[in-house]
Amino acid sequence: MSDRCVRLADTPFDVDAAAAAFRQSVPSAGAVASFIGQVSPESGDNPVEALFLDHMPEASLASIKKIASAAEARWPLLKLMIIHRVGRVETGQPIVFVACASRHRRESFEAVEFVMDFLKSDVLLWKKEIRATSQTWIEPKTQDFADKQRWETEICTE
Amino acid sequence: MHGINQELTFTPVNIAVMTVSDTRTLDTDTSGHLLAERVTEAGHHLAARCIVTDDKEKIAAQVQTWIDDKEIDVVISTGGTGLTGRDTTPEAITPLFEKTIEGFSVIFHQVSFQSVGLSTLQSRAVAGLAKNTFIFALPGSNGAVKDGWDKVISLQLDSRHKPCNLVELMPRLDEK
């Protein structure tokens, strides 16, 4: 099993420091790929001010670990890191950080995409969009399910 | 107009949430958690929350306790509505109903069909009324709870929902 660091963060985390520490921890890797997701205001008159991510400490983390395991089983990764914010995340703040290290670039690129595609639709976290005049629980979009389906596998996280 | 009229006043009600499961604990009860979270987030009071095993007598006893509690306006359960041998929530609670709200099952299946297609026929979501308490039984999956709460129950329990809602009926439930 490859080296793994998966955690939930209930306060803002330093995404640049995490990326640097990740890279330095795998000197034998030929490739490191990473992804940062941040809260987007989206367009329109009533922009998103923040997301609230409702979570359950044990179950939410377990669902992320299942996604991590599926990625590790599919690609020969040297190391994998997932940090997911929970609680209130302001617009512009990082909400998720995913990094993979491998001998060759293709594995890392693909594994990061795979993890993100499943985090978007299968993770046990419940997102609420907070706007100036409304608050709405949101669900994965059709595009999110399409992104996930191209991997032709299922991960049961519930 | 159908929907929420923001100019009207929201009236919170007292809601008890019951998870029916042989295996879940408070740490792993995701559908109960998200139901409880959405109940309070909507502005209602979470009057009670518990987990009971798939045992017909235990389910019926818990719901009856809440029906008899004048402080509790609504009971919502999650789980035990499937077709397997251990699924007995409808058998446990429908005998307690004084009135069955057949339309709830119809509407729930319409909404759920949009999410999961024909799989919805494997769940037996039901609702009824007993001693001024509304009782809803939802399936145990997170998706079903979101469909049932977000698209059906939350709107009918919102006093601002027009042209009608269940909250405005509450004072008239024991009319003779």
Does B2 reside within a domain? no
Give the Cα separation of A119 and A115 in Å (integer).
6
Chain B hits for A137, CB-CB cut-off 8 Å, are 38, 146, 150
Chain A hits for B27, CB-CB cut-off 8 Å, are 56-59
Range of the domain at B160: 12-168
Chain B hits for A128, CB-CB cut-off 8 Å, are 41
Whether the CB of B91 is below 8 Å from some CB of chain A: the reply is: no
Does B6 reside within a domain? no
- Chain segment A84-138, per-residue pLDDT in tens: 999 999 999 999 999 999 999 999 999 999 999 999 999 999 999 999 888 888 8
Pick the residue from chain B with its C-alpha nearest to A62.
B28
Amino acid at B118: L
ipTM above 0.95, yes or no: no
Please give the pLDDT value at position B1: 64
Whether the CB of B37 is below 8 Å from some CB of chain A: the reply is: yes
User: In this structure, how many other beta carbons lie within 10 angstroms of the beta carbon of residue B123?
Assistant: 25
Question: Taking the model in full, what pTM does it have?
Answer: 0.86
- Written as tens digits, the pLDDT of chain B (176 aa) is 688 998 999 999 999 999 999 999 999 999 999 999 999 999 999 999 999 999 999 999 999 999 999 999 999 999 999 999 999 999 999 999 999 999 999 999 999 999 999 999 999 999 999 999 999 999 999 999 999 999 999 999 999 999 999 999 999 998 88
Whether the CB of B38 is below 8 Å from some CB of chain A: the reply is: yes
Does B125 reside within a domain? yes
The CATH number for B50's domain is: 3.40.980.10
**Tokens linked to A80:** 């994998």
Does B176 reside within a domain? no
Q: What is the DSSP letter of B171?
A: G
- A84 or A158, which is more confident? A84
Whether the CB of B119 is below 8 Å from some CB of chain A: the reply is: no
> How far does the CA of residue A136 sit from the closest CA of chain B (Å)?
10
CATH fold, domain A3-149, is Aldehyde Oxidoreductase; domain 3 (3.90.1170)
Mean pLDDT (whole number) for A27-32: 96
- How many domains does chain B contain in total? 1
Whether the CB of A56 is below 8 Å from some CB of chain B: the reply is: yes
Q: What is the DSSP letter of A150?
A: T
Task: Break chain A into its structural domains and give their ranges.
Answer: 3-149
